[in-house]
């Protein structure tokens, strides 16, 4: 923001009492110095923020026409689709927005893994990110239950039953989660309450995430620290405009689904009202949970740990283990551009995540060209953990990285030559 | 030192202060924990939910070899009028062959009537096998399509990821042909 702006008497009056304008300026304005070499992979954080705002806005109006009761929930969503003005639009934006949110956040996280953004001094920034992912998963899971279709009901049944794997207290915990003896009206009510709450928890986490970001500023494609003003440009107008352009492109993608393929990410079974006496033949979670669902089902009985408990542990561990990345990766070089071995194995890991997703979408007793999906899932799960717990630490010690450029500006001028 | 507000600390004094600080903090922590309990417990089944916890079933109309499903506490309960062959098959199994060892006798009050909660002990799907043309699995009882668990004619888990037998609810015979579940 220009100094002229700060000389305005009203602005000055407010600033003296609450320095909110300089706070904004230092967060996303001309007063925030940003590495000058950020590429489009750095757009995804702000895009996720926009989607969060869209989810809250559409969610609040949907909640005005939604009824959280087993006898009316399904009908109230159908009424939103048919009778409420623009209800179909709001619901399709909210429904597809959930999928968009996960696409953006997964890309955002892979970006962090490729460019080593989790490394010192951004460990907490990364850990808060993983917490945001967990909070998003809880929010999306409970949101999916609200329309009270067959997948809502059976997804909720299968996932809440996971907790019964906990020794001794498991069954008591499940009864407590349900507020009864099966997924029923008390469950739907509390899920609505929590689904409304969680986005605001996510907001708070995002705030802390950005707070940590602004202490040491963004990482960048070459992964070397900002050495001085020659390495940066002001956030506004340079990155506000780049983010705005990215938003335009993303909205085309998002709105394509909203208007032309609104049920692309959904399951047709969820347009059948929940029936507690009939399980659909093939229960699948939303696509963004598929890799984790594959991990859940991959674990066999191991020694005294039942497959059920082992699967639950592996599934939660697959997310929590990400928090350890800053310490598992000993390489001082952040960006994969200068790490020839890591760079290739990174893509193998991405591929592994896709394979796990594909396995999660198939029934475990299904067979692919003579190979049981169960085996593919077990191999994929083993590789997932091996990549994080063994491969990353090993190559961070064994690999000989190339020498990164002296500084960001050196990298930029070199590239120009 | 006598002119300061705090008298000179003696070693005794220090332990007394530590004690006061610690006990205040402890009482505060315990008090907070107690105050949180009502919030947590409010999420447990309410009195009216608990009150709906029995169901009566008339067995008269169920022919031999036929099953019906009734709802108890929001869950399906399988009531099966077993054939002599099914009873014999169930009784013939040795405990050594079972994942969750239980004799057939321990699972029924009258061998003809098998009554159990029809919820797969893996992750809660409803096994198939109630209708005549349903798949019944490799052991002629029930088959859970979700992740492939096979149950025998006593509802015991024989194959697949489920860890336990289908649970037998508490029930009593009110007359020869009616039962009360719960
Ligand atoms: C973190 C952001 C959010 C995510 C990821 C999310 C996710 C979801 C998902 C996946 C559904 C199921 C859509 C369907 O299949 O129909 C849903 C439904 C719903 N959500 Fe959200 N939501 C978010 C924020 C909110 C907020 C802030 C509210 C405000 C109360 C809200 C209110 C609702 C309502 C009323 C429904 C049921 C109506 C429907 O099914 O379309 N959501 N949500
Ligand atoms: S729920 Fe029955 S096999 Fe998984």
Q: Is A286 labeled as catalytic in the residue annotation? A: yes
Domains identified in chain B, total number: 2
User: B138 lies in a domain?
Assistant: yes
Range 1-40 of B in CB contact (< 8 A) with A: 40
User: B1 lies in a domain?
Assistant: no
Q: Does A240 touch chain B (CB under 8 A)?
A: no
pLDDT-above-70 percentage for chain A: 99
- Average pLDDT on A138-163 reads 95
Instruction: State whether B127 and B90 are in the same domain.
Output: yes
Q: Does A307 touch chain B (CB under 8 A)?
A: yes
- Average pLDDT on B94-105 reads 89
For A215-252, what is each residue's pLDDT tens digit? 999 999 999 999 999 999 999 999 999 999 999 999 99
User: B100 lies in a domain?
Assistant: yes
Q: Is B122 labeled as catalytic in the residue annotation? A: no
Q: Is A214 labeled as catalytic in the residue annotation? A: yes
pTM: 0.88
Partner residue facing B75 (CB), from A162, A182, A306:
A182
Q: What is the pLDDT of residue A346?
A: 98
Q: What is the pLDDT of residue A74?
A: 98
Yes or no: say if A313 and A167 are a contact pair by the CB < 8 Å rule: no
pLDDT of A313 over the 60 cut: yes
Q: Lowest-confidence range among A105-114, A153-162, A247-256, B142-151?
A: B142-151
Instruction: State whether B71 and B147 are in the same domain.
Output: yes
pLDDT of B76 over the 50 cut: yes
Q: Which whole-number Å values give the CA distances from A75 to A65, A69, A81, A238, in the listed order?
A: 11, 10, 10, 48
For B7-47, what is each residue's pLDDT tens digit? 555 666 778 889 999 999 999 999 999 999 999 999 999 98
Q: Does B163 touch chain A (CB under 8 A)?
A: yes
Instruction: State whether B90 and B164 are in the same domain.
Output: yes
Q: What is the pLDDT of residue A415?
A: 59
Partner residue facing A279 (CB), from B40, B75, B126:
B126
pLDDT-above-90 percentage for chain B: 57
Q: What is the pLDDT of residue B146?
A: 82
* Mean pLDDT, rounded, of chain A: 94
A216 conformational bin, left if phi > 0, alpha if psi -120 to 50, beta if neither: alpha
User: B2 lies in a domain?
Assistant: no
* Candidates A26, A214, A273, A387; catalytic one: A214
Residues of chain A contacting residue B77, judged by C-beta atoms under 8 Å apart: none
- Average pLDDT on B39-63 reads 88
pLDDT of A281 over the 60 cut: yes
Q: If you take atom 1 of ligand 2, which residue's CA is the nearest one?
A: B123
Residues of chain A contacting residue B71, judged by C-beta atoms under 8 Å apart: 276-277
Q: What is the pLDDT of residue B1?
A: 47
Q: Is A68 in the pocket of ligand 1 (CB under 6 A)?
A: no
Q: What is the pLDDT of residue A65?
A: 97
- Average pLDDT on B128-151 reads 89
Instruction: State whether B28 and B64 are in the same domain.
Output: no
Distance from CA of B145 to the nearest CA of A (A): 6
pLDDT-above-90 percentage for chain A: 84
Instruction: State whether B138 and B114 are in the same domain.
Output: yes
Q: What is the pLDDT of residue B147?
A: 80
- Average pLDDT on A170-199 reads 95
A175 to B45: CB separation less than 8 angstroms, yes or no: yes
Domain holding B85: CATH number?
2.102.10.10
Q: Does A289 touch chain B (CB under 8 A)?
A: no
Instruction: State whether B139 and B163 are in the same domain.
Output: yes
pLDDT of A417 over the 50 cut: no
Instruction: State whether B33 and B116 are in the same domain.
Output: no
Instruction: State whether B55 and B32 are in the same domain.
Output: no
User: B128 lies in a domain?
Assistant: yes
- Average pLDDT on A126-149 reads 98
Q: Which residues contact A178 (CB under 8 A, 6 or more apart)?
A: A160, A184, A186, A187, B45
| Torsion of Cα atoms, A347 then A349 then A355 then A357, to 10° | -110
Instruction: State whether B60 and B83 are in the same domain.
Output: yes
A306 to B46: CB separation less than 8 angstroms, yes or no: no
Q: What is the pLDDT of residue A297?
A: 87
Q: What sections of A217-366 are H helices per DSSP?
A: 235-260, 290-298, 307-320, 325-328, 340-361
Which comes out higher in pLDDT, residue A50 or B71? A50
Distance (angstroms) between ligand 2 centre and the Cα of B148 equals 6
Which comes out higher in pLDDT, residue A395 or A5? A395
State which residues form the domain around B113. Answer: 50-181
Instruction: State whether B32 and B121 are in the same domain.
Output: no
The full DSSP string for A104-149 is HHHHHHHHHHHTTTTSTT-HHHHHHHHHHHHHHHHHHHHHHHTT-B
Q: Does A177 touch chain B (CB under 8 A)?
A: yes
Q: What is the pLDDT of residue B41?
A: 94
CB atoms within 10 A of CB A64: 9
Yes or no: say if A42 and A36 are a contact pair by the CB < 8 Å rule: no
Instruction: State whether B35 and B56 are in the same domain.
Output: no
pLDDT of A198 over the 60 cut: yes
Q: What is the pLDDT of residue A1?
A: 58
Q: Lowest-confidence range among A12-21, A181-190, B91-100?
A: B91-100
């Amino acid at each position: 923001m220009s100094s002229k702006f700060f000389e305005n008497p009203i602005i000055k009056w407010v600033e003296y009492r609450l320095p909110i304008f300089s706070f904004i300026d230092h967060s996303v304005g001309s007063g925030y110095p940003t590495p000058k070499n950020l590429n489009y992979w750095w757009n995804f954080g702000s895009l996720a923020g926009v989607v969060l705002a869209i989810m809250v806005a559409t969610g609040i109006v949907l909640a005005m026409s939604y009824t959280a009761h087993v006898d009316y929930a399904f009908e109230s969503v159908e009424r939103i689709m048919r009778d409420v003005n623009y209800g179909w639009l709001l619901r399709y934006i909210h429904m597809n927005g959930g999928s968009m949110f996960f696409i953006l956040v997964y890309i955002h996280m892979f970006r962090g893994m490729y460019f080593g953004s989790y490394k010192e001094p951004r460990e907490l920034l990364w850990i808060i990110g993983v917490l945001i992912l967990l909070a998003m998963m809880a929010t999306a899971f409970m949101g999916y239950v609200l329309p009270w279709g067959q997948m809502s009901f059976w997804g909720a049944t299968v996932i809440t039953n996971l907790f019964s794997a906990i020794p001794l207290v498991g069954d008591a915990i499940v009864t407590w989660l349900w507020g009864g003896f099966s997924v029923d009206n008390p469950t739907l009510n509390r899920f609505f309450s929590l689904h409304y709450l969680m986005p605001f928890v996510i907001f708070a986490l995002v705030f802390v995430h950005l707070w940590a970001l602004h202490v040491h500023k963004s990482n960048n494609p070459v992964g070397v620290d900002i050495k001085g003003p020659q390495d940066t440009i002001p956030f506004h107008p340079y990155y506000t405009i780049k983010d705005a352009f990215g938003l335009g492109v993303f909205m085309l993608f998002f709105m394509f689904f909203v208007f032309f393929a609104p049920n692309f990410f959904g399951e047709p079974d969820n347009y059948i009202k929940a029936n507690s006496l009939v399980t659909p033949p093939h229960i699948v979670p939303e696509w963004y949970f598929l890799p984790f669902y594959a991990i859940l089902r991959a674990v066999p009985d191991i020694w005294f740990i039942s497959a059920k408990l082992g699967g639950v542990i592996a599934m939660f561990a697959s997310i929590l283990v990400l928090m350890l990345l800053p310490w598992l990766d000993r390489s001082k070089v952040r960006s994969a551009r200068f790490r020839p071995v890591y760079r290739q194995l990174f893509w193998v890991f991405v591929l592994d995540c896709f394979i796990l997703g594909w396995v999660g979408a198939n029934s475990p007793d299904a067979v692919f060209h003579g190979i049981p999906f169960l085996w593919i899932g077990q191999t994929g799960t083993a590789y997932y953990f091996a990549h994080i717990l063994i491969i990353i630490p090993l190559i961070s010690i064994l690999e000989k990285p190339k020498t990164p450029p002296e500084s960001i500006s050196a990298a930029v001028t070199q590239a120009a030559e | 030192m006598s002119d300061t507000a705090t008298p000179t600390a003696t070693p005794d004094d220090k332990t007394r202060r530590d004690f006061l600080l610690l006990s205040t903090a402890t009482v505060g922590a315990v008090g907070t924990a107690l105050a949180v309990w009502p919030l947590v417990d409010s999420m447990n089944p309410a009195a009216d939910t608990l009150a709906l916890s029995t169901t009566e079933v008339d067995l008269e109309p169920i022919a031999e070899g036929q099953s019906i499903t009734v709802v108890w506490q929001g869950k399906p309960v399988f009531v099966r009028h077993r054939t002599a062959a099914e009873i014999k098959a169930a009784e013939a199994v040795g405990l050594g062959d079972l994942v969750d060892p239980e004799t057939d006798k321990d699972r029924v009050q009258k061998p003809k009537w098998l009554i159990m909660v029809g919820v797969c002990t893996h992750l809660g799907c409803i096994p198939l096998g109630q209708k005549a043309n349903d798949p019944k699995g490799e052991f002629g009882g029930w088959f859970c399509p979700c992740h492939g668990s096979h149950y025998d004619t006593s509802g015991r888990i024989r194959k697949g990821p489920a860890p336990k037998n289908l649970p037998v609810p508490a029930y009593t015979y009110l007359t020869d042909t009616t039962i009360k579940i719960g």
